Amino acid sequence: MDTRDPLTQQYFNGKIKLLTTEQYELNGIALDATTVGKLVGALDDSLILVEESNDDLVFIASHPFLQIDQQRRLTQVEDGIILISNDLFALHPIHRGKGLGNRSESCATVS
């Protein structure tokens, strides 16, 4: 049973398209499209490009609801701790105030 609220169920299911041919792993977990979508809290139907920057992974997501591309950065520090930073996130004004930004943040998970 899905216990998530209706808005989360509607827009945040990890259904994205990866725009990369590289294979990435994080702590032995393959970063496939579903995992990346959940990892960065991307809206369904987002197009996501993965880039390496120094030792970080940068995820750049485009979606019609976004005013600019969303950018999240994963940094792995000592003891395997993973930090997720929300570098850029801006919804178009017509999509603001509905809770999508909060859910994008709360849906970003590392399993």
SS (H, E, C) the chain: CCCCCHHHHHHCCCCCEECCCCCCEECCEECCHHHHHHHCCCCCCCEEEEEEECCEEEEEEECCCEEEEEEEEEEECHHHCEEEEEEEEEECHHHCCCCHHHHHHHHCCCC
Cβ atoms of 36 and 19 closer than 8 Å = no
What is the model's pLDDT at position 42?
92
What is the model's pLDDT at position 25?
84
Question: Which residues of the chain fall below pLDDT 50?
Answer: 111
pTM score, two decimals?
A: 0.86
Tell me the C-alpha to C-alpha distance, in Å, between residue 14 and each of 11, 34, 37. 9, 5, 4
Residues 60 and 46: their CA atoms lie apart, in Å, by: 10
What is the model's pLDDT at position 97?
95
What is the model's pLDDT at position 108?
66
pLDDT digits (tens, 9 = 90+) for 61-89: 999 999 999 999 998 888 878 888 999 99
What is the model's pLDDT at position 10?
95
